[in-house]
Amino acid sequence: MGATFIVNTFTVNLVAHLGGGDSKIGYPATMALWAILAVVFFTITFAFTKERVQPNPQQHSSVWQDLSDLRHNGPWIALFSLAVLIHIQLAMRGGAMLYYFNYCLHLNNIFDWIDNFGVFNGVGLIFTIIGVALAKPLVSRFGKRATFRTCLFLSSILMAGFALLPPDSLYMLFGLQILLQLAFGPTIPILWSMMADVADYSEWMTGRRSTALAFASIIFGLKLGLGVGSWFNGALLENFHYSPTAPLTDTSRFGIVSMISIFPAAVLMIGVVALFAYRLDDVLMNKIENGLSSRRAEHNL
């Protein structure tokens, strides 16, 4: 989240600085900088990651068997679908937000050294991090599934509220952003925790451990959602007749506002419905964890 804060807050300024005012040069240069840093940190992550849970030495499985296990894993299907939906809305809304700031808002810059878009993203990330920190106490009180569903529902309602914002209301813009990110923040760690739960559920049901495939397949869904959401951005902008070389029409303005509010909110609401198919509540997960702990103790004898 700290890295996300830096990237979302300062990318636009870096584009202007590295490109000397030419975004055609600035964007590739900025993305190259972030890519180099990503490779460095991915390499560090790989070098210092150690396997701590040993599989059953008697386990015999294949990729095809593991894929078959996933196909019959109802919670995995629900979580895969949810990962796709969440990241469709993230890509759709994130990709349209700069258009919203450039064409739909009428606000003076708050600070001279950074534009409003960077401040908006930075403030949002700060409250997202606070939301992430709230995940554990909320889950302890209400459970993962209920907390996730409620936070997604609230996020959808708050996101839709952006459609009603006046274009010159700074305080309402930032107030709604703060509430939205507080509501969405807890879903971030819960999603990753639920990936582990569906992997444990599969092992509990089949006796075969395939955690890597369970995680990798859901992360594929995450990337798929980002790709589909980005495609939606281009398709919707074209559908609403947006042109960077022509004056913005009312139709284009309506489309851009909808892309940061109504459309991603509707996608999130579908995710709320998808969560009803996710059956791993806290009671069942305690049973699964106790059962797996007993099996692993036997394997290590």
Question: Minimal CA–CA distance to 192: which of 155, 219, 210?
Answer: 219
Dig out the tokens for 116 from the structure: 């409003």
> How far apart (Å, rounded) are the C-alpha atoms in residues 218 and 195?
7
Q: What angle do CA 128, 130, 134 make, to 5 degrees?
A: 110
Give the model confidence (pLDDT) of 140-197 as tens digits. Answer: 999 999 999 999 999 999 999 999 999 999 999 999 999 999 999 999 999 999 999 9
Q: Residues 217-253: pLDDT tens digits?
A: 999 999 999 999 999 999 999 999 999 888 899 999 9
Which domains are present in the chain? 1-36 (no CATH), 63-299 (1.20.1250.20)
CA distance 53 to 69: 20
Query: 């009603």: which residue's tokens?
Result: 164
